Amino acid sequence: MSSSCLINNYNYGKYVCEAVDSALEQSLPFDEIIIVDDGSTDNSLDVLNARYGRHTGIRIVAQEQSGQLSCIQRAVEMASGELIFLLDSDDCQHRDLHATVQSVFQARQHIDFLSVDHEKFGPCVNDRQRKKRTRDQGVSALASIFFRHWVGAPTSCLSMRSSLLERILPYPNESNWRTRADDVLVLASSIVGAQKYHIGEQLVRYRVHESNHFSGRTWSEAQKMQYALKLNAMINWYVNAAGYDITLLPKLASKEFRTIEHPVLKELLMYLRLCAQSGTSLDVRCGSLISIFRHFFAERRRGLWQPAPHAPVANPSRPKRKIAVRESAQAA
C-alpha cells in the first residue's frame, strides 16, 4: 500500500531534521513525506529548506500559526498515500516502523487504525514507562463516548488508513486543538467505529524535553475545566455527525465488548456499567452480562495471542526512484 508520512513542526528547528531523517531512513521507504511548518519563529524553515528543499520525496509547506490539528488537517488534504503515518517534529521513528505497520495492515484488512509503543528519551525523562501488549483492541465507540476511554497513543505512534481519515477530518473547531491533536484523532476514530490494533514494540522514540508543548506540563484547575469543555464539544460533534441515538447505544455494549481481544479488568467494568444503564428488560440485560463475562473469561483462558516477529514487507513494484532518493539521503 502506498504511504505518506506527515510531519508537523512548530519552533523545533533543533530537532526537526532528526525526525525527517528517521522517516527517510526507513527500511521500507515512504512514498512521500509532507512537512507542514506552523508559523515557526525560529530557524525551522531555513533549516528545512536548506537540507531538504531539493529532495524529490519531500514537500515542505509553511502556514500561518494555527496549531497542531491545523497542520495535520492540511497535510492530510495533500497526502496521496493509502496509509497515513504521523510524526511530531521532536520525535523519531525506528527504521522498521513502516515495514512492521505495513505487514499488519496487509495481514489484517479489517484494521483501520494502528498504534505502536514508544520509548521515551531526552533530558526530562523521569517516570517509569508502562508497555502495552500487542492485541486487537476492537471497536471502542461506546467506551469513548460514555467514558472518554482513550484507545490510542501519542501522535507520532499513530497510523491510519486514509479512508478512515476522510471520515473524521476536517474537524471544524481546529482552533481548540492547537496542541493535543491526538485527542481528536484517537477519540474521533473510536466514535466512528474504527477497529484498532496495537503493536507492543517500541517503534517510536518520544522525546521528553523542557520545550514540550504538552508532555510534563502542570495544569491549573481552570485549564482542566476548559479542556473538559473542549473535549465534550468535540465528542458531541462527532456523535451528532454520525447520527447516533445516544439513548440506544448502551444496548450495544455486549456486542462492542466482544470485539476486544484479551480485554483487561478496566474494560470489563466499563461495559458492565453500560449494560446496567442500557434501560432494557431484566432478561435482556442478564443475557448481555452473561455474554460479556463469557467473552472475558474465554479470552483469559485462551491467553493473549503473541504474533510472530513482524517481517519487513517486500514491495518489488516500488519505483527505483524511491530507492535512489533514500540512498542519496543516506549519503548526505
Q: What is the DSSP string of 247-313?
A: TTGGGGHHHHHTTSSS--HHHHHHHHHHHHTS---HHHHHHHHHHHHHHHHHHHHH----PPPPPPP
Q: By C-alpha distance, which of 171, 99, 150 is closest to 315?
A: 99
Place of cell 507542514: 36
- CA distances for 70 relative to 5, 61, 64, 309, angstroms: 16, 12, 10, 36
Q: By C-alpha distance, which of 188, 158, 183 is closest to 91?
A: 158
Which pLDDT belongs to residue 218?
A: 78
Condensed to tens digits (0 to 9), the pLDDT of residues 24-47 reads 999 999 999 999 999 999 999 999
Condensed to tens digits (0 to 9), the pLDDT of residues 159-185 reads 999 999 999 999 999 999 999 999 999
Q: By C-alpha distance, which of 189, 158, 184, 162 is closest to 171?
A: 184
Which pLDDT belongs to residue 189?
A: 98
Confidence of residue 331 (pLDDT cuts 50, 70, 90): very low
Which pLDDT belongs to residue 125?
A: 63
Say if residue 325's pLDDT is above 50.
no
49 or 332, greater pLDDT: 49
Write out 102-146 in H/E/C secondary structure. Answer: HHHHHHCCCCCEEEEEEEEECCCCCCCCCCCCCEEEEECHHHHHH
Which pLDDT belongs to residue 211?
A: 64
Residues in the chain: 332
Q: What is the DSSP string of 222-242?
A: HHHHHHHHHHHHHHHHHHHHH
C-alpha cell at 102: 505495513
User: Residue 27, SS3?
Assistant: coil
Q: What percent of the chain has pLDDT over 70?
A: 87
Calpha distance 68→7 (Å, rounded)? 10
Condensed to tens digits (0 to 9), the pLDDT of residues 49-76 reads 999 999 999 999 999 999 999 999 999 9
Q: At what angle do helices 282-302 and 265-276 cross, to 10 degrees?
A: 170
104 or 321, greater pLDDT: 104
Say if residue 212's pLDDT is above 70.
no
Confidence of residue 332 (pLDDT cuts 50, 70, 90): very low
Which pLDDT belongs to residue 131?
A: 79
Which pLDDT belongs to residue 85?
A: 98
Residue 223 identity (one-letter amino acid): Q
Calpha distance 299→251 (Å, rounded)? 22
Confidence of residue 204 (pLDDT cuts 50, 70, 90): very high
Condensed to tens digits (0 to 9), the pLDDT of residues 239-259 reads 999 999 999 999 999 999 999
Place of cell 469513548: 144
**Mean pLDDT taken over the chain:** 90
- For 8, what's the count of Cα atoms within 13 Å in the CB-facing half-sphere? 25
Say if residue 130's pLDDT is above 90.
no
Q: Which residues of 89-125 are buried (b: 16+ CB within 10 A; e: fewer)?
A: bbbbbbbbbbbbbbbbbeeeeebbbbbbbbebebeeb
What does the DSSP 8-state code read for residue 39? -
Which pLDDT belongs to residue 309?
A: 45
C-alpha cell at 176: 481548540
Condensed to tens digits (0 to 9), the pLDDT of residues 106-122 reads 999 999 999 999 999 88
92 DSSP β-pair partners? 205
Which pLDDT belongs to residue 320?
A: 38
Say if residue 323's pLDDT is above 90.
no
Say if residue 234's pLDDT is above 80.
yes
Which pLDDT belongs to residue 313?
A: 45
Say if residue 318's pLDDT is above 80.
no
> Dihedral (C-alpha) 312, 314, 317, 319: value to the nearest 10 degrees?
40
Confidence of residue 279 (pLDDT cuts 50, 70, 90): confident
